[in-house]
Amino acid sequence: MAKDPVRVLVTGAAGQIGYALVPMIARGVMLGADQPVILHMLDIPPAAEALNGVKMELVDAAFPLLKGVVATTDAVEACTGVNVAVMVGGFPRKEGMERKDVMSKNVSIYKSQASALEKHAAPNCKVLVVANPANTNALILKEFAPSIPEKNITCLTRLDHNRALGQISERLSVQVSDVKNVIIWGNHSSSQYPDVNHATVTTPAGDKPVRELVADDAWLNSEFISTVQQRGAAIIKARKLSSALSAASSACDHIRDWVLGTPEGTFVSMGVYSDGSYNVPAGLIYSFPVTCKNGEWSIVQGLPIDEFSRKKLDLTAEELSEEKALAYSCLT
């Protein structure tokens, strides 16, 4: 039996990440090789012509799974009937801009997109916010779309998670697919805490703790953490453009695991609405270790947190509380 197509919205679709992301979705990377999709692409009016060019290329690529394309600058048209929404569009920080200026631009964008999604998306639409500040943009979206269940609004920290897996794999000269259960705690910013205390590597002799195999706590507690925290800046320095293909690929990973489930014994990092787990203040969108099953995520409970980690978890929570206060001050 052929499956019904799933409608996937990508905002900011004419941008760098969007351009990397839409072919991945059309190829089945996000939802599976047997899942037809209809792509909804939204961008701002100045990008309308470029957006149409992306639509032309999607037609030209003749993707078997792609059953339709909506390319529009109208948020209502873009949001109508969507089952998955990947919010890539946002206002980037430009040189000389204060954080509050960037925040107020994004608050107004996410406020208007929240109401379009709430009124027009399919019931149980899953939302992933990619645009920075991702955690706080997701929180604003949640506030202004009260009828969308809070469990359906998430932000992307899978990119940081995958960066951490990559660093461990390079350090140990092992396949990245053999490394699992790193955790990104907190904000998708340089205050995030990449934690390897629960991570393992699959070896011929079974799963071994990363800390034991690396056997260099000084590196794991300093350089490894700062490399993952600062990786986005390092990519900009090298490419003169921000991470696009890795962000797009991680967005696919995030949605795929959320919809299709995480492998047994594996957890991943997702920015989700805090319920107070691990003494993280409730009411923040904060990155936790999660497992997914039947389209629902659950925070992994009961992991021991040492003193070093506790300080890092609290520090990134403080930054998120400050961002939340700044965002709310933009609303008044």
Residues involved in catalysis: 188
Ligand-binding site membership of 93 (annotated): yes
Ligand-binding site membership of 50 (annotated): no
Ligand-binding site membership of 18 (annotated): yes
In the numeric block, the tokens 């359906």 are attached to 152
Ligand-binding site membership of 14 (annotated): yes
Count H helices, E strands: the chain? 12, 14
DSSP string for 89-140: ------TT--HHHHHHHHHHHHHHHHHHHHHHSPTT-EEEE-SSSHHHHHHH
Ligand-binding site membership of 114 (annotated): no
Planar angle of CA 128, 131, 133, nearest 5 degrees: 105
Residue 51, Cβ density class (10 Å: 0-12 exposed, 13-18 middle, ≥19 buried): buried
Ligand-binding site membership of 43 (annotated): yes
Ligand-binding site membership of 148 (annotated): no
Ligand-binding site membership of 15 (annotated): yes
Q: At what angle do helices 307-331 and 99-120 cross, to 10 degrees?
A: 80
Ligand-binding site membership of 106 (annotated): yes
Ligand-binding site membership of 12 (annotated): yes
216 Cβ contact list (under 8 Å, min separation 6): none
Judge if the upstream peptide bond of residue 133 is cis by omega within 30 degrees of 0: yes
Residues making up the binding site for NAD(+): 12-18, 43, 106, 130-132
Binding-site annotation: residue ranges:
12-18, 43, 93, 99, 106, 130-132, 163
Binding site residues for substrate, as ranges? 93, 99, 132, 163
